[in-house]
Amino acid sequence: MPRRQVITERPSSRRRTAARWVAVGLVACAGLVVASAYLGPPPSAPAQASHTHQGSDEASRTRWGADYFPNIELVSHLGDKVRFFDDLIKDKVVAINFIYTSCPDSCPLETARLAQVYKILGDRVGDDVFFYSITIDPDHDTPAVLAAYAERYNAGPGWSFLTGKEEEIVDLRKKLGLYIPEIQNDGSNNHNLSLIIGNQATGQWMKRSPFENPHVLTTQIGSWLHNWKRPPKERRDFADAPKLRSVSDGERLFRTRCAACHTIGGVEIGTKVATNDPTVGPDLLDVDLRRDPQWLRRWIAEPDVMLAEQDPLAMQLLAAYDNVVMPNMRLSPADIADLLGFVRAESSRHRRVVRAREASRFHHERGARDRQLDELTMRDEWIREAPPQANVSAGYLTLFNRGDHDAKIIAAESPLFEHVEFHEMVAREGGMGMRPLDELVVPANGQLRLETGGKHLMLIGPRQALAHGNKVPVRLRLASGRGWDVWLPVVAAARGRPG
């Protein structure tokens, strides 16, 4: 069964400078308003960039109206029957592409790219913008098959996947300038990868590449084709434009071939939006270290072959990502080396950023803990001298918090005792008793008194005898993780609280 697709516009030499690739994208955005406003070569496609119409009736009578577009019947993935002109494009701004669900090559990439544009446009899709993905393999792609395909990419309202009669779909592709007779033979599923965007009411149409940046596509669909009716959110000056940096061949390949489905360390490359569904493809952070190099290079070069062979890891990935097929991008060994080189460099850069962020957070948290210690003070600290046979002693002090947040003491320890607990004297039936406390809280801009008859430190299991005049070191452990060392002077039992 023929499987290949053909890209009609070959990319320029992979060794062109990265700056030129970026510049081409920017310059093309301006030039395509006029230069690319063609559906295909005349006379089988519209030949003017725009028309002025008084209303939808007049628009439908233009060369690019009801008399030009075949009003064929199609069936959506939801089972609805629609007419191409009357129901789908008349007086609408649309994006149309042709796919087939069993495609092993670029259809998954093209669909994932449109999913990014769909997400950027948001609720405008289905309101003033409409997406149509039409199968070129109607014998296989039934509405049920298309529905499952749409679900994989989280296609929502305003995005229809359509099927119909094969000969009528071929006629539609010819009218849209997306049919290449030279590659359509023997029932081949080879097809032009370009999608077409247009405004039927104004007569403005453009062919676009699925490898285009999603933000550029969004601007063209959501702004240019609306005849500039929507004002920009902000006015910006070219004088403030950032200087273009150099883009390597590897990064160019990742942006155009991989970024629609993959991130590196959770970071979107070349776009501010990830795929519509984060499960479309795995994150590629350190993928060159996590996978066998030989397996990885082959997987990038011929994923369709490896899936046909039912390679165990390939099948595992297919199942893990909802049967979204890894497309065969027809990359050369040199392309693959450039691509993996970029992934390695970006993974290393991401690791450095994460380490710097963690170090900054550590220093910030340590500074916060230090500030909290600076905000805590104490006075009236003491511990009662206990008889030689006593197994416990009680410690008291008053804590002051000058900070704006409560300070929590969650534990305490002393080298002179087996363990230290927090206790509180409480009234019980028949007298007084003690209950343990999980923590001590010094309120913001307040104080906490540890005193006889109330809350106190219970020091249990003395390791040596303590006499009047000794000092007992106690480390108070704060919820922030810092320790606060205090010294409690031992006071003779007969003298009681100092002061």
For residue range 169-199, what is the model confidence (pLDDT) as tens digits? 999 999 998 887 766 655 555 666 788 999 9
The answer to which of 105-109, 147-151, 371-375, 485-489 has the lowest mean pLDDT is: 371-375
The answer to which of 126-130, 208-212, 358-362 has the lowest mean pLDDT is: 358-362
Residue 277 clears pLDDT 70, i.e. is over it? no
% pLDDT > 90, the chain: 40
The answer to which of 67-76, 124-133, 399-408 has the lowest mean pLDDT is: 399-408
Rg (CA), the chain: 35
Q: How far apart are CA 438 and CA 459, in angstroms?
A: 15
What number of other Cβ atoms are within 10 A of residue 441's Cβ?
16
Q: How far apart are CA 417 and CA 473, in angstroms?
A: 10
pLDDT, one tens digit per residue, over 42-80 is 334 443 333 333 444 554 445 678 888 999 999 999 999
The winner for highest mean pLDDT among 28-32, 185-189, 457-461 is 457-461
Higher pLDDT, 266 or 454: 454
Cα→Cα distances 453→113, 424, 425, Å: 71, 8, 6
Would you call 166 helix, strand, or coil by DSSP? helix
Please report the pLDDT score of residue 271 as a whole number: 65
Q: How far apart are CA 136 and CA 162, in angstroms?
A: 10
pTM of the shown model: 0.53
Amino acid at 195: L
Cβ burial of 112 (10 Å; 0-12, 13-18, 19+) is buried
Closest CA to 211 of 284, 348, 117, 72: 117
All domains of the chain, ordered by start, with CATH?
18-232 (3.40.30.10), 249-353 (1.10.760.10), 374-491 (2.60.40.1890)
Q: How many residues comprise the chain?
A: 499
Mean of the pLDDT values across residues 214-225? 87
What number of other Cβ atoms are within 10 A of residue 342's Cβ?
22
Please report the pLDDT score of residue 434 as a whole number: 86
Q: Are 129 and 121 in contact (CB under 8 A)?
A: yes
